[in-house]
Amino acid sequence: MKPEKKPLGIYVHVPFCKSKCVYCDFYSLPHAEERMDAYVKAVTAHLLETAPRAERHRVDTIYFGGGTPSYLGAKRLREILSVILKKYDVDKHAEITLEANPDSAQDWRELRTLRKAGFNRVSLGMQSADDGELAEIGRIHTAVQVRSAVDAVRKAKIDNLSLDLIYGLPHQTMERWQANLEAAVALAPQHLSCYGLKVEEGTPLHARRDSAGLPGDDAQADMYLSTVETLRHYGFFQYEISNFARPGFESRHNLKYWTLQEYAGFGPGAHSDFGGVRYAYERDLDTYIRGVLEGTPMLSENERIPPLDRDTEYLMLGLRTVRGIAPKTFENRYRRRFDCLLPFLEECRKAGYAVREEDGSWHLTPGGFLVSNQIIGGVLDALAADKQRRTDARARGDFRVV
């Protein structure tokens, strides 16, 4: 009897975009259309080279992210996807996502071509329903284009649509954010990702952060809590800090990241957790192309992590989700006692930041998600202190500490 194949996600990073937004810290290249064909040649060669390593896996999610993958054009996208479908064991019910910006997702016939090629989910970068806000952050689409892009997706018979929104934009009020949220819900997506604006170092927004009219932390926190309540009212289930879905429409690919499943990334800047190794490629297109085609170095990270050493990752990533962390899973998988975390988690529960379910699992509340970095830090500190206590006890020859 053949062993059951392990699930695998594939991520393809498409580093091209029409223009760079003022807040964007992702690896993307505006005005680099002349490099697209060279990129496609490299990424398809890389997919072919890696396929034998995935023979014991079944691909159940594929995600084209960026950048702006839709800007690559239907022909090139189909070429890349066809290599995956031909050379990997892809589940017939695989979730296959294409990120798109509204200005490059206007042609329903092109979207229909992509659906027929295999894409069955579109993640559309709406960001705002207000043209002034869009212009302020360097987006080149309009609110009208958002609506027409959604119409094109529907006309192409793609039934799984996600919209991205950003709150905490320059000069944004609670009223304006609520209007954006209502406008997004009115477009009837199956999934919504709502992110608080982060001012990343090295971006144009960071250079003018003091004069940009950014809402304060308290105002952004209020927008977040309002988002959770509003989307719950409209039937969207929050399953991760920033992600909400109709029942059954959670992003299966993104859940891989938060539940420590395997995924293989391709393209400059792409990350992977595959075969027990975490690795990433340099955020440089030329370095990636040379690395694939000529065998020159292209890794920026490469670390083999033993399964038992992933206990901190399980806690850190699990606390980002409403599924949370489970004592039995933790103890069975990592051979560690969970009870060392209970005093801190109990403090969080009393403060209204965490909930303990009847089965013993723990997850954060919306208020807890707001301070998740501090809570995760506290949990990891408790784990580290317990590890040190056991190490010290063994050094003393005291083996009663288990």
pTM for the full predicted model: 0.95
pLDDT tens for the chain, 402 residues: list them: 677 899 999 999 999 999 989 999 889 999 999 999 999 999 999 999 999 999 999 999 999 999 999 999 999 999 999 999 999 999 999 999 999 999 999 999 999 999 999 999 999 999 999 999 999 999 999 999 999 999 999 999 999 999 999 999 999 999 999 999 999 999 999 999 999 999 999 999 989 988 889 999 999 999 999 999 999 999 999 999 999 999 999 999 999 999 999 999 999 999 999 999 999 999 999 999 999 999 999 999 999 999 989 999 999 999 999 999 999 999 999 999 999 999 999 999 999 999 999 999 999 999 999 999 999 999 999 999 998 888 887 777 765 555
Burial of 145 (0-12, 13-18, 19+ CB in 10 A): buried
Strands 161-167 and 191-196: parallel
List residues bridging with 354 in a β-sheet. Answer: 364
Strands 263-266 and 6-14: parallel
Q: Where are the beta strands (DSSP E) in 20-120?
A: 29-30, 57-66, 90-100
CA–centroid distance for 177 within its chain: 22
- Whether omega for the bond prior to residue 378 falls within 30 degrees of 0, making it cis, is no
* End-to-end Cα, the chain, rounded Å: 39
- Whether omega for the bond prior to residue 67 falls within 30 degrees of 0, making it cis, is yes
| Secondary element (H or E) of residue 338 | none
